[in-house]
Chain A
Amino acid sequence: MNENIENVAWQREKALRTYSTGAIVFYASWLVRFILRETGLLTNFLDYAIAVPFVVGLVFLLYSFGCLLRVRRPLEKNRELREALNDERVQLNTLLAFKFGFFALLAGLAFFAIFNFFSPISDLVGVLISLLLLGAFGYVLKFYILERD
Chain B
Amino acid sequence: MTKAELRNTLKVHRARMDWTQEELARRVGVTRKTINTIENGVFIPSTVLALKLARAFSVRVEDLFQLPEESLAEEIRE
Contact = CB atoms under 8 A, between A and B. Distances in A.
Contacts of B43: 89, 92
A88 B49 contact: yes
Contacts, number: 43
Contacts of B29: 80, 83-84, 87
B63 to A, nearest CB: 21
A149 B37 CA distance: 10
B31 A9 contact: yes
Contacts of B34: 87-90
Given A89-B37, A89-B43, A92-B43, A5 B49 contact: no
Interface in A77-91: 80, 83-85, 87-90
B6 interface: no
Main secondary structure of the interface of A (DSSP, over half): helix
> Range of interface residues on chain B?
10 to 19
B72 interface: no
A2 B33 contact: no
Interface stretch (B10-18, B20-28, B53-61): B20-28
B25 A89 contact: no
B22 A9 contact: no
Contact of A2 (B26, B37, B45, B46): B26
A111 B16 CA distance: 55
Contacts of A47: none
Interface of B: 22-23, 25-26, 29-34, 37, 43, 45-46, 49
Given A2-B26, A85-B31, A88-B45, 18 more contacts: A1-B26, A2-B25, A5-B25, A5-B26, A5-B32, A6-B22, A6-B31, A84-B29, A87-B29, A87-B30, A87-B49, A88-B30, A88-B34, A88-B46, A88-B49, A89-B37, A92-B43, A147-B33
25 contacts: A1-B26, A2-B25, A5-B26, A5-B31, A6-B22, A6-B31, A9-B31, A9-B32, A9-B33, A83-B29, A85-B31, A87-B29, A87-B30, A87-B31, A87-B49, A88-B30, A88-B34, A88-B49, A89-B31, A89-B34, A89-B37, A89-B43, A90-B34, A92-B43, A149-B33
